[in-house]
Amino acid sequence: MLPGNDTRLSEFLLLELSEEPELQSLIFGFFLSMYLITVLGNLLIILAVSSYPHLHTPMYFFLCNLSLVDICFTSSTVPKMLVNIQTQSRVITYEGCITQMYFSTLVGLLDDLLLSVVAYDRFVAICHPLHYTVIMNPWLCGLLVLVPWIMSALICLFHSLLALRLSFCTEDLEIPQYFCEINQVIELACSDTFLNDIVIYVAAGLLGGGPLAGILYSYSKIFSSIRRISSAQGKYKAFSTCVSHPSVVSLFYFTVLRVYMSSAITHSSCSSAVA
C-alpha cells in the first residue's frame, strides 16, 4: 500500500483515554485488573468444564468456546493499550494495526455467531427435550462451532485484503479508538473506500442481524414452551437453564449499539472508547 506522497505508511496513532498524566496509572491499573479477571475467569470455566465429565454436554461445550473467544477478544486489544499507557506511546505499526484489526474483528464475529449457536442449543433443550441428545450429537456440535470459525476467518481475511489496497495521504494518522477498529481505519483512507464500505454493511447486516434474528426467534419459542409447562417448579427449572444467556446477549448487543450510536451521534471518541 502506497500513500499519495510515495512513501510507505509505517504507523498509526491510537486514541488516549485520558491526557491527564496523573490518571494514567489509575487507568492502567483498572484495565489491567479487568483484563486479568476476564482471562482468569474464562480460563477457570474452561478448566472446570474439562475436569468434570458430567459437564461434557453440548451446552458446556459451547460455553467453553465462548470463554475461549472472550479471552481472544480482550487479548487482541487490551494488552497493546496497556503497553501504550505504560510506555506513554500511542504508536502502532501499520502491520500491527492490520493484524489487530483482523483478529479483533474475527473474535467479535465469532462472539456474535456463537451466541446464536447457544440460543439454538437452548431452543432444542427446552422445546424438544426428548430429542435433545439425538439432535445435539457430537458431530453437529462440532459443526456448529467449526462453521462460525471458518466463516469469520474468511470474512475477516477479505476485509483485511481490502484494507491493504487503501492509500493514506499523510504519515501521522490518528485512529479515534484505542485499538485498530476496521471502520475507523477505513475512514482515514484518502483512496476510494466504496467497496470496503459495501462489504462492511453487507457483513454487518448478515452476520449481525441474522444471528440476532435467530436468537430472538429461538427465545420466542422458548418462552412459549415455558408458558405451557404446568408446574411452577418445571417452569423455574426450564427458565433457569437459559436466563444467563439472554443477559449476555443483551450486554453484547447493547454495548455494540452504545459504541456506534455514541460515535455517530456525539462524535465523541473518548465516550465511544470507554463504552
**What per-residue confidence (pLDDT) applies to 192?**
86
DSSP-derived 3-state class of residue 172:
coil
More confident residue, 125 or 16: 125
Confidence of residue 15 (pLDDT cuts 50, 70, 90): confident
Percent of the chain clearing pLDDT 90 (strictly above): 37
CB atoms near residue 24 (< 10 Å):
16
Q: In angstroms, rounded to a whole number, what is the distance separating the alpha carbons of residues 66 and 42?
A: 9
pLDDT tens, 53-64? 888 999 999 999
- CB burial class (10 A; 0-12, 13-18, 19+) of residue 74? buried
DSSP-derived 3-state class of residue 92:
strand
User: Which pTM does this prediction carry?
Assistant: 0.85
The ranges assigned to domains in the chain are: 11-274
Confidence of residue 7 (pLDDT cuts 50, 70, 90): very low
**What per-residue confidence (pLDDT) applies to 176?**
80
Q: How many CA atoms lie within 13 A of 242 on its CB side?
A: 26
Confidence of residue 146 (pLDDT cuts 50, 70, 90): very high
Say whether domain 11-274 belongs to CATH 3.20.20.70.
Answer: no
Is residue 102's pLDDT more than 60? yes
pLDDT tens, 29-53? 999 999 999 999 999 999 999 998 8
Q: In angstroms, rounded to a whole number, what is the distance separating the alpha carbons of residues 273 and 260?
A: 10
Is residue 256's pLDDT more than 80? no
Per DSSP (E only), the strands in 120-195 are 174-175
Is residue 4's pLDDT more than 50? no
Q: How many CA atoms lie within 13 A of 85 on its CB side?
A: 25
Q: Which three cell numbers stand for residue 153?
A: 476467518
Per-chain mean pLDDT for the chain: 84
More confident residue, 244 or 132: 132
